[in-house]
Structure 1
Amino acid sequence: MRWDADAVLGVLVVLAGAGFVAAGVVWKGRSVRPFASSRARTVAQREYARDLQRAADQVIATARRCAGEGEPAIVTVDAVVRVTRDRYGYATVERRHAAAALRRRYVHGRCAADCVTDAFG
């Protein structure tokens, strides 16, 4: 039995595929999980801030939809805390973080014209 170029290439492709499968089994999930705990904390803090921003946006949008014609939309920090807990699954949400996120989104969304909030108090 003689080995020709196609057979050698086929064996090399199969071995490379088996190597990739073995590497995937060994290093499963490493690409999404940081190696260092400090990087993991940084990623968690970034996600927390992003989730607070999203919750503030959702609360503002809901308040605007629920407000009657000519009435200001009432947006509270407690609503942001509640949405962050319920929708994003955080056990504890600090009120000052929720207030800061709500202030940022309040200014960014130009809510002063049609919204009232307790985030500045």
Structure 2
Amino acid sequence: MILFVLTLGLSGCATEGKVPAEQAVASFYAAVRAHDGERACALLAPEAADGLRTGGQDCAKAILDLDLPGGQVRESAVWGDEAQVRLTHDTVFLHRFPRGWLVRAAGCTPRGDLPYRCEVKT
């Protein structure tokens, strides 16, 4: 009985954690679709934003130069401070920071047993 109650409690937390992660992905892609590079970069984890600053190009310009596919949410999972949101054309990885969920990787495609290949990554 205790195990059953504990399982219900843990699954409830996982379900509640999915919505904010999915909302963060929706906000990120809304900024990309609106060509608001500054807003999109503000929704990236600091390391991911830094990774786009190459060759003298700033994050806001670089993020808009990528062909990020996006799509509708198909499923999501949360493990503590880490989340994965699968879209129809993309997989996005997030980390929960004190200010909320931020995108660690986007434009990700699976490669079988190999790690995902991502356009935006930490």
Does the TM-score normalized on the shorter chain lie above 0.5?
A: no
* TM-score relative to the length of structure 2: 0.34
Structure number with greater Rg is 1
**Is the helix fraction higher in 1 or 2?**
1
* TM-score relative to the length of structure 1: 0.34
**Is the strand fraction higher in 1 or 2?**
2
